[in-house]
Structure 1
Amino acid sequence: MSTPEDAVTKPREGANPSPAVEAPAADAPAPAVEASDAPAVDAQDGAAEEVDVRETETEAERTARFEEGALPLLDQLYSAALRMTRNPADAEDLVQEAYAKAYGSFQQFRPGTNLKAWLYRILTNTYINSYRKKQREPLQSDSGDVEDWEIARAASHSSAGLRSAEVEALDRLGDSVVRDALAELSDDFRLVVYLADVEGFAYKEIAEIMGTPIGTVMSRLHRGRAQLRALLADHARELGMKVPS
């Protein structure tokens, strides 16, 4: 069967980036996957309602199952990678590496569980291993195509959200201002805010993706949102807008 091209293509201007990722051919060796990159799957973790096909499916069938489930999430994974690396080329490389690892360990993923969270966990671990452990500083770029403005308007997971008057003021800011403010957050704060307020993951899912306790996620999200609001408010004041103190 044919598979998507193993290449990242630059989208036309104005379109969301959509790098294409190829699942390796059925007779190709699976890429090596670090133990920390692919989250462990407990086969006894709840009785799956669906029949577990992993032990009986052929390599071609597994490839087709991977393409059907993982490739539609490609744009979302690229958006997250762009927020992590702040550079389109690095984001493309990160997504390619993460998808290769995901395919190589796809037999560990139990059908019927949260594929999106599983892929985000691999992406996050790959980013940590590729950038943070090497103390690599990604280049920043002004060519981001991902809309981050919804961060300022997103409903809070807690009872305290943005005040309506503040939202009204921030609503007049441009997307580039929000991107710049988000980029000023530390990696941990930026990622947890993105996963919660843009991707809509719950605390438990974010904790699994980032490999941290739920309490740590809640703390980082609270502090990250507070820092982002303060940065956006500063930008608003610089533009002469009235922002509640």
Structure 2
Amino acid sequence: MANDTFREDLIAELPNLRAFAVSLCRSPEKADDLVQDTVLKAWGNSEKFQPGTSLRAWLFTILRNTYYSLYRKRGREVQDYDGTYAQRLAVSGEQESAVAMSEFREALGKLSEEHREALILVGASGLSYEEAAEICGVAIGTVKSRVNRARVRLAELLDITGADDLGPDRRTQAVVDRSPADPVPS
């Protein structure tokens, strides 16, 4: 792969790398450091990338391996058992979406590391099960199982029992469903 093409493709993946790094580290500052380390390693080993394969999967593998070797082994993970750190990341205000996002972050944080990682790779980053399995170094069936279990556990934590529990609440739905011709109640 030519250096210019590799560089452009690498730059295009930065937002995905950062999102995955934040999901692992739970710290934007540490995520930025992790992405920087990943980019430096990828650039230094660009000749090892096999054109025709997924650059995203290759980069995610580098990022994941870097995370485990730098952070997990050294015990540098941000521990946020009580959700204090996650609350600082939440949007202030009383909007329902901010509350829902805060609840989602809290529930996501309660998942096991393996389940959260699989869900982020497949659900949020859009990687295939095969790519996620390669990144995690496990069988495809293991990734599918982890994603399924993560989704089920998130639904339990968020008290979602069916499709009716998703979307706007009754009050919001009533406003949305009201026709412009309907009189405004006084």
TM-score, normalisation: structure 2? 0.73
Output aligned runs, 1:58-77, within 5 Å.
62=3, 64-77=4-17
Contact 1:90 1:138 in 2 (8 A): no
**Aligned twin of 1:103:** 43
Q: Which amino acid letter does the alignment assign opposite residue 68 of structure 2?
A: I
Deviation, structure 1 residue 233: 1.1
Contact 1:87 1:139 in 2 (8 A): no
Deviation, structure 1 residue 134: 2.4
Unaligned regions of 5+ residues in structure 1, if any? 1-52, 54-60, 146-169
1:232 aligns with 2:139: no
**How many pairs does the alignment contain?**
153
1:93 aligns with 2:33: yes
Q: Distance in 2 between matches of 1:70 and 1:144?
A: 27
Deviations 1:143-178 (A, max 9, x none): 548xxxxxxxxxxxxxxxxxxxxxxxx989621211
**Aligned twin of 1:207:** 133
Task: Provide closer, same or farther for how the CA distance between residues 144 and 78 of structure 1 changes in structure 2, counting only shifts above 3 A.
Answer: farther
Alignment partner of 2:118: what SS?
helix
Q: Which amino acid letter does the alignment assign opposite residue 113 of structure 2?
A: D
Q: Percent identity?
A: 39
1:114 aligns with 2:54: yes
Deviation, structure 1 residue 91: 0.7
**Aligned twin of 2:119:** 193
Deviation, structure 1 residue 66: 2.8
Deviations 1:94-144 (A, max 9, x none): 111111111111101122221111111111111111222223332553354
Deviations 1:21-58 (A, max 9, x none): xxxxxxxxxxxxxxxxxxxxxxxxxxxxxxxx5xxxxx
Q: Which amino acid letter does the alignment assign opposite residue 104 of structure 2?
A: V
Alignment partner of 2:7: what SS?
helix
Task: Provide closer, same or farther for how the CA distance between residues 181 and 100 of structure 1 changes in structure 2, counting only shifts above 3 A.
Answer: same
Instruction: Tell me which protein shows more helix as a share of its residues.
Output: 2
1:217 aligns with 2:143: yes
Deviation, structure 1 residue 81: 0.6
State the Cα RMSD in Å: 2.6
Q: Distance in 2 between matches of 1:233 and 1:130?
A: 36
TM-score, normalisation: structure 1? 0.56
Q: Distance in 1 between matches of 2:78 and 2:30?
A: 7
Q: Which amino acid letter does the alignment assign opposite residue 190 of structure 1?
A: R
